[in-house]
Chain A
Amino acid sequence: MNTATGIIKALNSGIKHLAVKRFTLRYPEEKLKFVGDGYQFDPSTGVGIAGYKGRHMLFHDHCTGCQLCSIACEGVAEAIAMVKVPEEYKHNKKAIMPQIDYGKCVFCGLCVDACPFYALYMTNDYELSSFSKEGLIYTPAQLQVKPYVSQDSEIKITDRGATHG
């Protein structure tokens, strides 16, 4: 191939893309859809359930305050601290539950793997930014709230290229 045809071919392959659909996620308006409701773990089989590793969700009616999540996090990020909760539960005599500092958390999900009582899961919520460092620390009461997410855009592949529909 000589130089002139090579350059024309290169330009041509770029020009063809004027007719190809835009492959850009317009983020705040559109959000990507994830599989399932977030990463979960089944201690009876020892295998996780696929899902996005986002902000945690704590079930107060399952948590016994055993500190296994905190111990699992010790070697990774030291993001989990056990704090006192005002409520008293029959299964949680010490009345302590995890508090997670998202300034330190690396979202590896090893705390979820460590929980034997189905009390700690991860959700699809990843928009955690805050104006202060203290705002990143989520107390057990805040972790109990199921996040509201509206994520519906998926990659669609058509004859005219891929797009986020």
Chain B
Amino acid sequence: MIKELPPGLALQKVDERIMTLNVGPQHPGSGHMRIIVQIDGDFIVACDPDPGYVHRGEEKMAEYRNYITNIPHLERPVIHDSCNVLYPYVLGVEELLGIEVPERAKYIRVIASELNRCVYTMYWLAIYGIFLGHSTMFMWPAGDRELLIDLLEKMTGARVTHSHFVPGGVRNDLPPNFEDVCLRQVNYFEKRIKEYAAIFYDNPILIARTANTGVLSREDAIRLGTTGSVLRASGVDYDLRKKEPYDVYEELDFQTNVLKEGDSYARSKIPWLDMMESCRIIRHALQKMPKSGSVRVKLKPNPKGGDDSVYKRVESGRGSLGCYIVSDKKPEPYRVKLSVGSFRNLIALPYLLKGEKLGNMPSVYWSLNYWPVEADR
């Protein structure tokens, strides 16, 4: 009996016209992931994304560590967005243990997670620029990202993996004089990202490359279960910060950005518009934040949850990010499951690439806001 081989390795019937091409698994984008495309001349006839090369077993590891020592591990899937990745876990543990978070800590969390969303989006934008051969768009976001990384470093003490959120608040209060520095650098950051319009988003060459490629209709976006910027670029107004406000988002003034086109240009524009909303949220949160007060509730050394389970989700840089925690009266969780936006957006890739030119594959793939390490966990 012949053992069945995984897709891509199996011998296939030779067709006169169709050629199978393996893109990856070295580095088609950021992180190891393979896209198996079948091409007829320059046109893609079928596509099979093959994730799973960076599986680290984060969920299984979480079952052997207690609620506090899980924190540095669970922010590893996306180190550029580490506050947002940790957010649903921390919210879930708070509900399990029945902790009430101080008001000031909630505002600090919102500011940290919005700064982190911008840091992630700038990194994503830099890679998107270099995918399209626009090297200025690689250099500018990579440089301007430093403004926000500097703020996060002042706040949390680390440049990328912050380990800042804990059940019961945040680890430390803001440093003195932080509000002024934050306001100054966020205002300058907003001025800088507005300059990207002329060189990138209004650039006719970019529009010619990305408009009307990989079109995802509104019905397909809902049917395939996509989330985040992909869903909002297809004309569905769905943002968890508005629909299921967590912490203090319902008290803050912002709007969600929706575009109708559903092509790769719209999908790349939504995160950029979201960054400007993030700047508004940060300014408003700095204004409304209580000037003093506690930022952390003291916990027992080894907190235990009841016989309960909880599911919490937040809007991360890549869409809805959920965390399901089951506790069984032990200091360690019985099960931690992450439901990530990256994996849900990847499902749309075979539908988007059918009939496209091979040269458009990188821009369509990266416009899905996909992060291989997060999808494989």
Contacts and interface: CB of A to CB of B under 8 A. Distances in A.
Contacts of A108: 71-72, 161, 163
A119 interface: no
A23 B143 CA distance: 7
A9 B173 CA distance: 44
Interface in B62-76: 64-66, 68-73
A72 B301 CA distance: 10
Interface in A1-38: 1-3, 6-7, 9-10, 12-14, 23-25, 32, 34-36, 38
Interface stretch (A50-58, A59-67, A88-96, A130-138): A50-58
A102 interface: no
Interface in B117-142: 136
Interface in B179-225: 184-185, 188, 195, 198-200, 202-205
What class of interface size applies to chain A in its complex with B?
35 or more
A128 interface: no
Nearest to B206: A10
B171 interface: yes
A2 B295 CA distance: 53
Contacts of A35: 154, 175
A48 interface: yes
A155 B150 contact: yes
Contacts of A76: 65, 69, 72-73
Interface string B56-89: 0000000011101111110000000000000000
Nearest to A122: B157
A117 interface: no
B184 A157 contact: yes
B169 to A, nearest CB: 8
A3 B204 contact: yes
B198 A9 contact: yes
B296 interface: yes
Contact of B174 (A3, A50, A106, A122): A50
Interface in B143-175: 143-144, 146-147, 150, 153-158, 161, 163, 171-175
Contacts of B173: 47-50
A106 B161 contact: yes
Contacts of B296: 46-47
B294 interface: yes
A155 to B, nearest CB: 6
Contacts of B154: 34-35, 50
B298 interface: yes
What class of interface size applies to chain B in its complex with A?
35 or more
Given A9-B198, A23-B146, A155-B185, A51 B157 contact: yes
A75 B143 contact: no
Contacts of A106: 72, 161
A48 B164 CA distance: 10
A2 B204 CA distance: 8
Contacts of A9: 198, 202
Given A75-B65, A76-B73, A108-B72, A52 B204 contact: no
A125 interface: no
B172 A49 contact: yes
A13 B198 contact: yes
A34 B66 CA distance: 31
A110 interface: yes
B185 A157 contact: yes
A7 B73 CA distance: 46
B158 A53 contact: yes
A50 B65 contact: no
A149 interface: no
B77 to A, nearest CB: 15
Given A35-B175, A47-B172, A7 B72 contact: no
Contacts of A7: 203-205
A1 B202 contact: yes
Contacts of B72: 76-77, 106, 108, 110
Given A50-B156, A109-B157, 9 more contacts: A47-B173, A49-B173, A75-B66, A75-B70, A76-B65, A107-B161, A108-B71, A110-B72, A110-B163
Interface of B: 64-66, 68-73, 136, 143-144, 146-147, 150, 153-158, 161, 163, 171-175, 184-185, 188, 195, 198-200, 202-205, 294-298
Interface of A: 1-3, 6-7, 9-10, 12-14, 23-25, 32, 34-36, 38-39, 46-53, 72, 74-77, 106-110, 113, 122, 155, 157, 162
22 contacts: A2-B204, A9-B202, A10-B202, A23-B144, A25-B146, A38-B157, A46-B296, A46-B297, A48-B173, A50-B175, A51-B157, A53-B158, A72-B69, A75-B65, A75-B66, A75-B69, A76-B73, A106-B72, A110-B68, A110-B69, A110-B72, A155-B150
